[in-house]
A and B are shown apart, each in its own frame.
Chain A
Amino acid sequence: QTVVTQEPSFSVSPGGTVTLTCGLSSGSVSSSHYSSWYQQTPGQAPRTLIYTTNTRSSGVPDRFSGSLLGNKAALTITGAQADDESSYYCVLYMGSGISVFGGGTKLTVL
């Protein structure tokens, strides 16, 4: 069973840049995984930031960007703000209709 991996936690300074990654326990992430990224604060529904690797969802600031970096999918936040402190989840499409979420990254802005 392939596992989708994310950093459990990350910290960034206000105004700084951070790159969160989304990998596979076996193999490389490619565009055919249609990687997507979601932001979630406690008690709230997920909010889509990026879908199909690098398409920004409507209303999402352009300081959030998605890409493929090496053998992983990546979410880069430039100019981090205090309200970016959230959990971030990625999901990968595995084919045959199946999607798998990563375990999430808890981002601290301090």
Chain B
Amino acid sequence: QVQLVESGGGVVQPGRSLRLSCAGSGFILSSRGMHWVRQAPGKGLEWVAVISHDGSGKYYADSVKGRFTISRDDSKNTLYLQMNSLNAEDTAVYYCAKAAFGVAPPADFWGQGTLVTVSS
């Protein structure tokens, strides 16, 4: 049974850093591209970043480019999102999701999300 479980969210002060994790089970994360998608309170979905299946391609939304880094540890079957220089606009539930193929949009499986709150 395929499962994605995010963790690492919490309350963080503006300007600080946080690392989110997405642990996969039931499939090998490196077999597919993997996305991070976020949703601010009361708002719609926003695509954040994607990493290709082989890790050679990493792509970011303009809103997070230069501050966020997507990565993967294949030995732990885990996806990460390192978030630096956080600001209030980064407050959101963060979801990880499998790509359909390559770095195409999210396909069939999503995690349950982890909440990040940026506040002083």
Contact = CB atoms under 8 A, between A and B. Distances in A.
Interface of B: 35, 37, 44-47, 50, 52, 57-59, 61, 95, 97, 100-101, 103-113
A100 B58 CA distance: 16
Interface centre among B52, B97, B103, B105 (most CB of A within 10 A): B105
B59 A96 contact: yes
16 contacts: A36-B106, A46-B45, A46-B97, A47-B110, A51-B100, A57-B107, A58-B108, A93-B104, A97-B50, A97-B52, A97-B57, A98-B47, A98-B59, A98-B61, A101-B46, A101-B47
A95 to B, nearest CB: 10
Interface string A64-87: 000000000000000000000001
B113 A48 contact: no
A92 B105 CA distance: 7
Nearest to A101: B45
Interface in A34-69: 34-36, 38, 40, 45-48, 51-52, 55, 57-58
Contact of B110 (A34, A48, A91, A100): A48
Contact of A45 (B35, B57, B111): B111
A45 B94 CA distance: 10
A97 B103 contact: yes
B44 A101 contact: yes
A104 B44 CA distance: 6
A103 to B, nearest CB: 5
A contact residues, range: 20 to 34
Contacts of B52: 97
A99 interface: yes
Q: Max chain A CB contacts within 10 Å: which of B35, B59, B107?
A: B107
A89 B113 CA distance: 17
B105 to A, nearest CB: 4
A44 B101 CA distance: 25
A51 B95 contact: no
Given A93-B104, A101-B45, A45 B110 contact: yes
A101 B44 CA distance: 8
